[in-house]
Amino acid sequence: MEYEQIKVRIENKVALCSIHNPPLNLMTGRMVEELDALLQQLAADDSVRVVVFAGCVDGVFITHFDVSELVALSGSETAAEPPSAVEMPHHRMQRRLQDLPKPVIAAINGRCGGGGCEFALACDLRLMAIGDFAIGLPEVGVGILPGGGGTQRLPRLIGHGKALEMMLLGRVVGAEEAERIGLIHKAVPAADLMPAVMALAERLARGAPIAQGLIKRCVYEGRDLTLDEGLQVEFEAFLRTLATEDAREAMKAYLRGQPYEFKGR
C-alpha cells in the first residue's frame, strides 16, 4: 500500500515509518487516515515485530495538528453536536496504535507538539533527540484544549499535578526535562538517536512477540481496572503464553542453558 504522508521501510523485522508532510510535518486528517490504514497493515504482517515512527523533516517529528483544519472543524456540526469520541478518526487511530500487539517506539527527532505529542504519548516507548526543540501540549495558547487524548494520557504518564501545570500553562519542555519528568524514556544526543532507537527496536524484535503483545494488553487494560480485575486479565494472558510453542521451547532451552529464537507461535 502506498502512502502520501508516510514512508515505510522494513528491515530486520522492524518497520521504520517516517512522517513526511513538509515543511512542518503537520498532522492532518489525511495523515490520520493513512496512519490508521498503516497500523491495520502492520498488525497483519507477521514479518514485522516492532514499529518505529520518526519524522523525516529536519528538526521536526510532528509540529502539531494542522490548525487550519481545526478552524474548519470549529464551525461544523461536529463541534455543535459532538459524536462519541471513539467514533472520531484520531481517537480510533490512536487506540489502534495502543492496541497493536507489537512494541511501538516514537523516535522524536524534532519539534513535537499538540497532536504530535498526543501521537507520541500513544506509542509504547519514546526516545527524543537533545536539541533546540521541545515537546508538549500548548493548545491552551490558541483557546482550545488537547483533544487527541492528551488530557487523558499525559496525566496517566507523568501524574496529574505535572500534567495540569504543563497543559494549563501550555508549557513545552526540552528532551532532558522530558526525561526527568517521565514524559519520554530517554534523551539522546541528536546524532545518536536513530542508532539508539534501531538498537532498541532490534533487541525488541528478538523477543517473544506473543508475550510482548499480551504485556501491552495487560498494562493498558489493567490501568483502568481494579487490582483484582487487572490480576484476572494478567492471569488469563499468562495462561495464553504458557500454551504457546515459544514458551514451551524457550523454557526448555533455558533449562539447557541454550539460546532460543522466538517464532511467534
The sign of the dihedral angle between the CA atoms of 21, 39, 147, 106 is negative
d(CA 49, CA 104): 9
Mean pLDDT of the chain: 94
Q: List the grid coordinates of 141.
A: 495558547
Who contacts 249 (Cβ-Cβ below 8 Å, separation ≥6)? 260
Q: Which residues of 194-217 are buried (b: 16+ CB within 10 A; e: fewer)?
A: bebbbebbeebbeebbbbbbbbbb
At 79 the pLDDT is 55
Q: List the grid coordinates of 135.
A: 515537546
Q: 106 phi and psi, to 5 degrees? A: -95, 115
Task: Label the pairing between strands 50-55 and 14-19.
Answer: parallel
Helix, strand or coil for residue 246?
helix
**pTM: predicted TM-score of the whole model, two decimal places:** 0.93
At 74 the pLDDT is 78
Q: 44 phi and psi, to 5 degrees? A: -90, -5
At 167 the pLDDT is 98
81 labelled catalytic: no
d(CA 263, CA 13): 12
Pick the catalytic residue from 34, 139, 165, 176. Answer: 139
Of 129, 112, 130, the closest CA to residue 121 belongs to: 112
Helix, strand or coil for residue 42?
helix
Using 50 as the pLDDT threshold, list the residues of the chain that sit under it: none
d(CA 165, CA 175): 17
Pick the catalytic residue from 11, 33, 77, 118. Answer: 118
139 labelled catalytic: yes
Report whether 173 contacts 117 (CB < 8 A).
no
Report whether 52 contacts 197 (CB < 8 A).
yes
Of 122, 101, 129, the closest CA to residue 217 belongs to: 101
